Amino acid sequence: FLQEVQKHSVHTLVFRSLKRTHDMFVSDHAKTIALDEESHKLKMGVKLKTEYAPVLHMPVLKEGRDRVPGYQEMHQGYPHPGEKGTGVALTADTKMHRNPSEGGVLSMALALPPSQVRQEASRTAASVAEIHRHAGGAERVHPKSTAVSLLEGGGTRNSALMRRAPTMPKPQWHPPWKLFRVISGHLGWVRSIAVEPGNQWFVTGSADRTIKVSCADPDHLSVFDLYRGNKVVNHVGGSTRSRKVWDIRTKANVHTLTGHTNTVATVRCQAAEPQVVTGSHDSTIRLWDLVAGKTRATLTNHKKSVRTLVLHPRQYTFASGSADNIKQWMFPDGSFIQNLSGHNAIINTLAVNSDGVLVSGADNGTMHMWDWRTGYNFQRIHAAVQPGSLDSESGIFACMFDHSESRLITAEADKTIKVYKEDDTATEESHPINWKPEILKRKRF
C-alpha cells in the first residue's frame, strides 16, 4: 500500500542536511595535529625541487630581499666568487649567475613559510620572463614601464624597461601635388605610359590604336605618331589566365606559369627573388619562383580583383590595389604589413617614389596621395575632365613618376595625359599634417 510522504519545509531539510554533515566531520575538526618541523622541511624541499627547479637560478627582486625572512640563509648555498659552478646566461648584459647548491635549495625552502613559497617563486619567474621577453630586437610596441633590480655577482643593477601605449607613428610631411600640364592628342582612352631611360620623353598607348611619343618642357611641346603599317610584329598565343616567360634572344617559351583562375591584370618583375609578381581578377596575388617555374606564395587577402601592383624603389616591399583596399606586403614571402583604407573606388593604378609618396588612381577619376610608411592619406585630387568629354569619362587608367620623381604622369579616360608636380610654395605651416595620435589599428586582412 502506498503511504503519503510527509512534506517538510526547505528550511527544515537544509538544516537537517547541515546537521548530518557536521556529525560526520566533527571528529576531524575537533582534533588539532601538531606540525612536525622535520616533515615540513622535507616536504618543502621536495616540492621546491620538483615544481620550481627551472626558476631557482633566477634572481630575486630587490624589494623582496629586505622583506623575506631568512634572506641571507636563502642564498648561503650560492657558490662564492672563485668557486666552480654551473653558469647560466642572464639578461642583455650576458653576465653569469650561478645556480644554488643543494644546501641552498633546502635553505630556501626552510626560509619561506609554506604560504609564501609559491608567491615568491611566481614573482621571480614573472620578473625574469619580462627581462628575457625584452632582451631581443626592437618591437613596434614598446614593453610596459617596469623597474627591475637584479642581483648579479653580489651586486645590484637596475634595468628600466619602458613601455608606452601603441600609437600610430607621425607621418612624414610631403608637399601637395598640383596639376602642371594637360596634353591632348589621343582620340581614345589613354591606357598606358612608359618613360624612356634618359628621361627626355615618354610614350602613351591609347584605345585609338596609336602610340604617341611626347617630348615636353616648359617652352616646347610636340606630339608624334608612330606608324608600323598596322602589322602584327610577333603574335604570342596563350590563355589570359597564365603568364609566359620568354627568352628574348631565342623567342623560346621557357616557362608557362599557371595557377590563376581568372584574367591576370598586372605583372611586375624585379631582380631579387621572387622575380615575378602577378595580380589577377581572381582576387589573388602570386609570387613566382622562376627557377622551379611554379608559385612560391599565393596571397588571398583581397576580396576583389587585384588590378595593379607597385614595387617600392628602395624597400623590399610592394603594394597591391583593389576595390576593397590598398595593401602593403613584405618580400620575399608576401608577409602582410598594413591596409591603406579610404580610397573607396576601383583602383586601376599605383605609383610610388623614393620619398615614400604612394599614388593611387581610380576608375572614378580620383587620385589619392599616401605616406608609404604610415598609410596616412595627405591629399586627394579629382581633376576636371577635358572640355567636350562626359563626366562619366573621368577615370585614371595608369600613372607613373618620371625618373627624376619630380613629375607624375597620368593616363586618363577623357583622352588626355596629365602631368603633376609638387607645389614649391607649400610649407608645413601652409599645409600642415592633419594628424592626431591614435591607438594603433590592428592588422586587418
Contact yes or no for 131/157 (Cβ under 8 A): no
| Residues 84 and 225 placed together within one structural domain of the fold | no
99 & 212 share domain: no
Residue 96 domain boundaries: 37-136
Instruction: Name the domain count of the chain.
Output: 2
Higher pLDDT: 40 or 161? It is 40
pLDDT band at 37 (very low <50, low <70, confident <90, very high): confident
Q: Are residues 119 and 193 in the same domain?
A: no
Same domain, 226 and 357: yes
pLDDT at 167 over 50: yes
Pick 231 or 384 by higher pLDDT: 384
Domain end residue (candidates: 79, 104, 136):
136
pTM: 0.59
Residue environment code for 298-312, b if the CB has 16+ CB neighbours within 10 A, otherwise e: ebebbeebbbbbbbb
My answer on whether 187 and 118 are in the same domain is: no
428 occurs within a structural domain = no
For all residues of the chain together, what is the average pLDDT?
Answer: 75
Helix (H), strand (E) at residue 43? helix 37-52
DSSP string, 185-231: --SS-EEEEEE-TTSS-EEEEETTS-EEEEEEETTEEEEEEE--TT-
Residue 291, domain member (yes or no): no
CATH code where residue 363 lies = 2.130.10.10
d(CA 441, CA 108): 47
Q: Stretch 124-144: mean pLDDT, rounded?
A: 41
* One domain for residues 82 and 185: no
User: Taking residues 50-70, what's their average pLDDT?
Assistant: 61
Same domain for 216 and 113: no
Residue 116 makes CB contacts below 8 A (sequence gap 6+) with: 68
Residue 240: per-residue pLDDT: 60
8 A C-beta contact, residue 269 and residue 331: no
200/78 same-domain check: no
15 SS3 class:
helix
Q: Would 165 be classed as within a structural domain?
A: no
Q: Does residue 222 sit in the same domain as residue 337?
A: yes
Q: Are residues 365 and 224 in the same domain?
A: yes
AA identity, residue 347: I
Other beta carbons within 10 angstroms of residue 142's beta carbon come to: 14
Is the predicted pLDDT of residue 254 greater than 80, yes or no?
no
Residue 438 lies in a domain: no
Stretch 184-194: mean pLDDT:
92
- CA-closest candidate to residue 418, choices 220, 226, 200, 190: 190
In a domain, 17, yes or no: no
- Residue 347 in any domain: the answer is yes
Task: Say if residue 357 is in the same domain as residue 407.
Answer: yes
Instruction: Confirm whether 224 is domain-assigned.
Output: yes
pLDDT for 50 beyond 80:
yes
Cβ 408 vs Cβ 437: under 8 Å: no
Q: Is the pLDDT reported for residue 81 higher than 80?
A: no
Is the domain of 341 the same as that of 402? Answer: yes
